[in-house]
Amino acid sequence: MSEPAAEPAAEPAAEPAGVPAAGLDKSRSPADAPPIVVDALTESGNGYRFVVARDGRLHQLAFGIGAGSVPVTVGRSLYPLALPTYGEDPHRMPALRITHADGVMTTRLTYRSHSEADEDGGRVVRIDLVDGDEPIDVTIVVRVWDDYDLVEQWLEITNRQSASVVLHDYASASPALAGSDPCLTHMGGGWAAEWTAFTEPLTLGTKVIESLGGIRPHLQAMPYALIEPAGRASETEGSVVACAIEWVGNTRLSCERSHNGVVRVCAGANPYAAERHIDPGETFRAPAVLWAWSDAGRGALSRRLHRFTREQVVRDGTSIRATVMNNWEATFFAFDEAKLVAMMDDAVAIGAELFLLDDGWFGESHPRDLDDAGLGDWVVDRRKLPNGIEALTDGAQARALRFGLWVEPEMVNVRSSLYAEHPEWVVAEPTRERREERNQLALDLCRPDVRAFVVNTVRRILVDHPGVSYVKWDANRAVSEPGSSVLPADRQSHWPFDSAAGVNDVMAAVAAGHPNTEIMLCASGGGRFDLGSLRHFHEAWTSDNTDPLVRLQMQWAAGWFLPASILSAHVTHWGGKPLAFACAVAMTGRFGIDLDTTACSPDDLAVLRRATTAYHRVRDLVQQGDLYRLVSPLDGERGAVAFLSKDSDRAVVFAFQLDETPGSALAIDCLDPDRTYEVQSISLTDDALPTVERSPGSVLGDEGLPWVLDQPLTAAIFEVSAVD
Ligand code: DGJ
């Protein structure tokens, strides 16, 4: 991966005739002077090494592991362009395409200067490029995170022309990777299948993974990918590049493999039907894209990404999360105060710590008994809750439970007072029917008044109900007529980008205004999962699909990038699998319960209680420990994961039998081989005393534990503690 991805056949020769090195101060790079090298490297020497060719163009000399050790031998044009623009490489798709004010469609960028400064915890390298003929400034920005050995990268584009320019393509990052057998792993699949993993070889041509629809795009394609340049990596071996597009809107990742084997990856906001004008003097900032690497397989990479996400991305990411009881799958819209109070009593008996009241609590003139009314009218439905939310928050407090509320503040039902007052607030095109999805329309976040409404909606709910310390923020439709009443006719294509930026702004404002409120990000399940929006949230709802067989696979794939602490995992009856198995699967994420406990048998309640008690004993490991993936559940036979404490003192191991295929042993090869461990089994199905055995870490790593499961849909949990 660190090899310089030289591609002499594909790039223009050095100093092509007639190409002025505009913007380059040639006095700094005379023909015999050493070339200008710009490094955006972590302390480990990984990241980007760029070189300025003698014609002034900026090239990528190396990317990834060991980029800093790649020798700078020549400042010529033998290496891939750092930022391929339209017109520079006629055989390839560009990362950046701009139509300039005078109609010129190509962009020719040369190096002007670079700088480095400490900003927001990272070291920020900025490389300024200019087009000497068409006044436009383009800055490649790379934020280097030494502690996590990764970088984030984005583009800033400033229009210096006297009229607006049009951005057609604006990938935030476009590294080139060299490798013998490149393959791509990506996730998607739509509602209830959003973390379905696909791994495929990158053959000649372009593979594009993109999402559309504007509002819950990540249901369709997650903004995450693994690229393995030399063939599939294992958990401990092989070279892997991780990419995460930090954008709540539509995203696009393209991998173009050319004849010389080089893969050009372009990643960023999806520019499809999203041409963006930049006015004179305006600066457009493309969203950040994160890159991380490993030459020791996927496991080490994931652990680094998890630590980064907990410490630098999500809110309050290093604290322990409470166990939630949610009423959605239990009641849907049909509940009343008595039902919720009964569930709260069960929550206490089971050991849950937070009660989350989901959709259906609001709507006065248009009560929300189904999904066809009430959205937008954020007043309590007194028919269901005659004593208001206060009765519930007081009831929760009396039971030492925290209380949470569901909101979907960016949406409106036509059957609502809000729509009657503000039909102009919705996303719509003037000549088109306003088609509903899930019986609702989307509010237009390009409008400042709508952005203020959304922020105020959440603020008012939290101010009016001070007992609410947790919010689930949902968004349940995509957009089919992407028009805005505040955008001029010739700028309607701004909607995809600007409305996503608007969503990000309101999320940021809510997070800033309510620093003590915990918030779950949800969009019809995992329809919003990017690291950009996760900065304003504490966790995300992994998927509406809670069938534990499917969830195990989804959580496995999500865990390539994201820590268990932010992957909400609630036990339900979805899929009709054994409850103990469902509990064990949910215990490998942020555990919660979402089933009608008032209808549960005493045996089932006992399983839920045992699971909650056990989870609380090990949740520091699950939520804050290091994840080791031991057996992949993706082939549907068995699965196993371990979470290890930082000092290797303690671990919890989860093993799952999925079908009839017998297993023999479970090697737990993450423990300290020189220590002795006590292994204690945890049963969710009975109160029998745990079995306890002692073994050296080396034996647990090599021979492992016997595979004790022989029935499909069963799970075993082991608590492992060092005794010396
Ligand atoms: C979609 C979410 O994913 C569900 O968990 C639930 O909150 C419903 N929306 C409520 O309408």
**411 CA distance to ligand 1 centroid (A)?**
13
Beta strand residue intervals within 211-304, DSSP E: 221-228, 240-245, 251-257, 263-269, 276-278, 283-285, 289-294
- Is 359's C-beta closer than 6 angstroms to any atom of ligand 1? yes
Residue 428 has pLDDT above 60, yes or no: yes
* C-alpha to C-alpha distance for 596 and 598, rounded to whole angstroms: 5
Residue nearest to atom 2 of ligand 1 (CA): 524
Average pLDDT rounded to a whole number, residues 43-65 = 95
442 backbone dihedrals φ, ψ, rounded to 5°: -100, 140
Which CATH number covers residue 698? 2.60.40.1180
Nearest atom (ligand 1) to Cα of 523:
3
- Neighbouring-strand partners of residue 224: 244
User: Could you read off the pLDDT of 232-271 as tens digits, one per residue?
Assistant: 999 999 999 999 999 999 999 999 999 888 999 999 999 9
Would you say residue 5 has pLDDT above 90?
no
Which domain-ending residue is among 313, 330, 347? 313
CA of 525 to the centre of ligand 1 (A): 7
Q: Given this model, what pLDDT does residue 14 score?
A: 29
**Domain assignment present for 111:** yes
384 Cα to the center of ligand 1, angstroms: 19
Q: Are 600 and 325 in contact (CB under 8 A)?
A: no
39-60 in b/e burial notation, b at 16+ Cβ within 10 A? bbbbeebbbbbbbbbbbbbbbb
pLDDT digits (tens, 9 = 90+) for 556-581: 999 999 999 999 999 999 999 999 99
Residue 190 maps to a domain: yes
- Using the mean position of ligand 1's atoms as its centre, give its distance from the Cα of residue 535 in Å: 21
Distance 402 CA to ligand 1 centre (A): 20
Name the helix (H) or strand (E) containing 498.
Answer: helix 495-513
With a 6 Å cutoff on the Cβ, whether 476 touches ligand 1 is: yes
- Residue 691 has a pLDDT of 85
Report the 10 Å Cβ neighbour count for 625. 24
- Domain with residue 167: its CATH number is 2.70.98.60
Residue 344: band (very low, low, confident or very high) from pLDDT cuts 50, 70, 90? very high
- Residue 76: predicted pLDDT: 56
**Helix 548-558 vs helix 579-586: crossing angle, to nearest 10:** 10
Q: What is the CA radius of gyration of the chain?
A: 27
| Domain finish residue from 313, 343, 371 | 313
Taking the centre of ligand 1 as the mean of its atom positions, its distance from the CA of residue 536, in whole angstroms, is 19
Asked whether the predicted pLDDT for residue 15 surpasses 80, the reply is no
Question: For residue range 614-657, what is the model confidence (pLDDT) as tens digits?
Answer: 999 999 999 999 999 999 999 999 999 999 999 999 999 999 99
pLDDT digits (tens, 9 = 90+) for 29-39: 455 678 899 99
Q: Which strand (E) or helix (H) includes residue 717?
A: strand 714-722
Q: Is 672 in the pocket of ligand 1 (CB under 6 A)?
A: no
Contacts of 701 (CB under 8 A, 6+ apart): 667, 668, 669, 670, 671, 673
Nearest residue to 303 via CA among 246, 252, 245, 240: 240
Give, in order, the Cα–Cα distances in Å from 562 to each of 292, 307, 319: 13, 9, 16
Per mean pLDDT, which range of 121-125, 126-130, 370-374, 504-508 is the poorest? 121-125
pLDDT digit string, tens, across residues 92-124: 899 999 999 999 999 999 999 999 999 877 899
> How does pLDDT run across 370-422, given as a tens digit for each residue?
999 999 999 999 999 999 999 999 999 999 999 999 999 999 999 999 999 99
Q: What is the pLDDT of residue 674?
A: 97
DSSP character for 312? I
Residue numbers of the domain that contains 67: 37-313
Of 313, 336, 367, which residue constitutes the final position of a domain? 313
Q: Is the CB of 275 under 6 A from ligand 1?
A: no
Ligand 1 atom index nearest CA of 472 = 7
Task: Tell me the CA distances in angstroms from 586 to 541, 553, 557, 589, 619, one per residue in order.
Answer: 12, 12, 15, 6, 12
Please give the tally of structural domains in the chain: 2
The whole-model pTM stands at 0.95
Q: Which amino acid is at 94?
A: P
Query: Any idea which of 71-85, 123-137, 515-529, 535-549 has the lowest mean pLDDT?
Result: 71-85
DSSP annotation of 286: P
Q: Is the CB of 474 under 6 A from ligand 1?
A: yes
For residue 399, list its beta bridge partners. none
Average pLDDT over the chain, rounded to whole?
94
Task: Provide the token pair at 362.
Answer: 């609001």
153 within domain boundaries: yes
- Please state the φ and ψ torsions of residue 389, each to the nearest 5 degrees: -70, -25
> How confident is residue 1, by pLDDT bands cut at 50, 70 and 90?
very low
Average pLDDT, integer, range 510-536:
98
Among 470, 476, 572, 593, the mutation site with the greatest number of ligand 1 atoms within 8 A of its Cβ is 476
With contact defined as beta carbons under 8 Å apart, do 317 and 566 qualify?
A: yes
In a domain, 451, yes or no: no
**409 alpha carbon – ligand 1 mean position (Å):** 13
Cα–Cα distance between 268 and 214 in angstroms, integer?
Answer: 14
Which amino acid is present at 440?
A: Q
230 within a domain of the structure (yes/no): yes
Could you give the CA distance from residue 75 to residue 605 in angstroms, rounded to a whole number? 69
Nearest C-alpha neighbor of 95 from the set 291, 293, 292, 286: 286
- Greatest Cα-to-Cα distance within the chain, rounded to the nearest angstrom: 84
Helix (H) or strand (E) holding 268, with range, is: strand 263-269
Residue 474 CA, ligand 1 centroid: distance in Å: 7
Dihedral of alpha carbons 83, 85, 88, 91, sign: positive
471, 529, 544, 568: residue to mutate for ligand 1 pocket, most atoms within 8 A of CB: 544
**Residue whose CA lies nearest to ligand 1 atom number 1:** 524
Q: What is the pLDDT of residue 295?
A: 97
Whose Cα sits closest to atom 6 in ligand 1? 328
**What pLDDT shows up at residue 111?**
98
Q: Find the 106 Cα to ligand 1 centroid distance in Å.
A: 46
pLDDT of 720 > 80? The answer is: yes
524 in contact with ligand 1, CB cutoff 6 A: yes
The rounded Å distance from CA 439 to ligand 1 centre is: 14
Tokens matching residue 123:
């070291």
Protein residue with least CA distance to atom 9, ligand 1: 524
Determine the distance separating the centroid of ligand 1 and the alpha carbon of 543, expressed in angstroms.
Answer: 10
The residue type at 470: Y
Ligand 1 pocket, mutate which of 359, 370, 408 (most atoms under 8 A from CB) = 359
First to last CA, the chain: 41
Nearest atom of ligand 1 to the alpha carbon of 544? 3
Q: Ligand 1 centre from 37 Cα, in Å?
A: 51
Residue nearest to atom 11 of ligand 1 (CA): 359
Pairing, β 714-722 against β 676-682: antiparallel
